[in-house]
Structure 1
């Protein structure tokens, strides 16, 4: 019988998994086991700590619903989501807009709206505009590009946190015009604390972290033949702009709400002006979405 101890256990597991037919699965699982075992040895993990971790992960799974993804929130707060974004971004950074997190509140079936429409059904804060162009790497406008946008309200709440899930608000989908222009109306969002009523919130409190995200507006921009851009615009001046709990902020995505400008497509409104650049898609490109509509994750798991 093999002599299993705290050192040889790793090779024993790797040997048993070596017959995995899928080469990528074999690579990922072998690396995961090596790092996981090294972690346990490094911190001298106790049985009590191991069991507490099992309980934590169980609680994370139990907190997930069709409209809430606690595992994505965990990934976000550990910086893993931003790391995967950065790894995925390397090729497109030279020609495309910097990515940010999709987040746990994306809905893939947001309402299609005409350009200039307000995405807020009953605004309780001053309306602002957002406008710009969607271009290729040469600065040429991309017509009929799909611009999906979603955000929290003036109190920091998303529609999924306040409304019936079927009553979508603070989100919409737009198509660029013949020159690649987009423009819409909305309100300035408020920064917010991530959901703290679950196991991830318990972790954040135990680490003495503030748990806040700076004010931001999400965008998912795509067009045929181009790499999808998942990003967000962050409002300058927010007190948590330099300490985002989920590590989503980068300098190129920090924007300002500027005074009304007669040259804007929304000349009567203070506006954010931002142009999105899409990199050409290659055969190697998969989805750039680090995240998903929570309802779709539940459906796939059920199948």
Structure 2
């Protein structure tokens, strides 16, 4: 491998991987090396630009911790997350579309019963959410696991506002419940509002340099799992939001946009008396049924 130059370096790197025993890893790394080298040649990458990129990735790593995932933000804002999501979630047209997980999901959310208030003190207008989970054949999906999470009206998720470890934090606007025997679910939360992704770090600087804004349209996250069905990670967007056509992470799908209906003071869907305006959201999810093992 002596005297390698810009014309022979790519092949030398590929040949160095001949001992790889993992076929998939070899496929991925071969393509990665080829595309990276082709990119550097195409743009005639300078050493200063290369050092800037290394510093940028180093900064992304330094700001990442158990409450903030800057690498996910980077992937999201470059469209890579949505690309991977789309190509790995090709389902029948009747199924609810998947979209990005985002950087704010955490394990260990508190468990609630249907009808409970998952907001747990999060600031925002009251919102009553209901819907049904069913398969493409129309059959209700009972006992499906449903994770929900969202930001408050100030645009912050609970993990962004605590100084505690994630495992010790007080969760708000986040919870886990299960669908009922008829596939239905219902809970109380708060109105979804638009918010900017964290943009005080390297990803925010990148967006600013590119003339892009950091805003996401208002939405409510769902992660739905049920035996015999494909897992669905998605979120429902609030119709009329000004950022629906310029989502910073490219996650909007038309069939995920729905109206949050505003109501004046009165009787809420759960029978409680509301002295202030409140909202309702009604959305059904259709899961793809897995093929039975041969």
What's the CA shift string for 1:165-219, capped at 9, x where partnerless? 4111110111111100011111112211111111111111111111111111100
Cα distance in 2 between the residues matched to 1:20 and 1:210: 42
Cα distance in 1 between the residues matched to 2:36 and 2:123: 49
Q: CA deviation at 1:283?
A: 8.3
**Kept in 1: contact 2:122–2:173 (CA 8 A):** no
Is the aligned partner of 1:139 residue 2:148? no
Match of 2:251 in 1: 248
Cα distance in 1 between the residues matched to 2:35 and 2:92: 29
Q: CA deviation at 1:123?
A: 5.1
If asked which structure has higher relative contact order (CA below 8 Å, sep 6+), I would say 1
Q: CA deviation at 1:282?
A: 4.8
Match of 2:190 in 1: 187
What's the CA shift string for 1:213-256, capped at 9, x where partnerless? 11111000110111110000111111111000011111011110
Q: CA deviation at 1:122?
A: 2.3
Give the total of aligned pairs.
281
List aligned pairs for 1:202-281, cutoff 5 A.
202-258=205-261, 266=270, 270-281=279-290
What's the CA shift string for 1:52-77, capped at 9, x where partnerless? 11111111111111111110110000
Structure 2 unpaired stretches of 5+:
273-277
Cα distance in 1 between the residues matched to 2:279 and 2:200: 36
Q: CA deviation at 1:109?
A: 1.0
Cα distance in 1 between the residues matched to 2:181 and 2:229: 17
**Kept in 1: contact 2:125–2:279 (CA 8 A):** no
Match of 1:5 in 2: 5
Cα distance in 1 between the residues matched to 2:258 and 2:78: 25
Q: CA deviation at 1:130?
A: 1.1
Cα distance in 2 between the residues matched to 1:84 and 1:9: 29
Q: CA deviation at 1:124?
A: 3.8
Q: CA deviation at 1:273?
A: 1.1
Change in Cα spacing, 1:178 to 1:247, as seen in structure 2 (3 Å) is same
Is the aligned partner of 1:129 residue 2:132? no
Match of 1:45 in 2: 45
What's the TM-score, normalizing by structure 2? 0.91
Q: CA deviation at 1:267?
A: 6.6
CA RMSD of aligned residues (A): 1.9
Cα distance in 1 between the residues matched to 2:235 and 2:87: 18
**Kept in 2: contact 1:222–1:278 (CA 8 A):** no
Change in Cα spacing, 1:238 to 1:44, as seen in structure 2 (3 Å) is same
Helix, strand or coil for the counterpart of 1:205?
Answer: helix
Greater per-residue strand proportion: 2
Structure 1 unpaired stretches of 5+:
285-303
Cα distance in 1 between the residues matched to 2:271 and 2:237: 22
Helix, strand or coil for the counterpart of 1:51?
Answer: helix
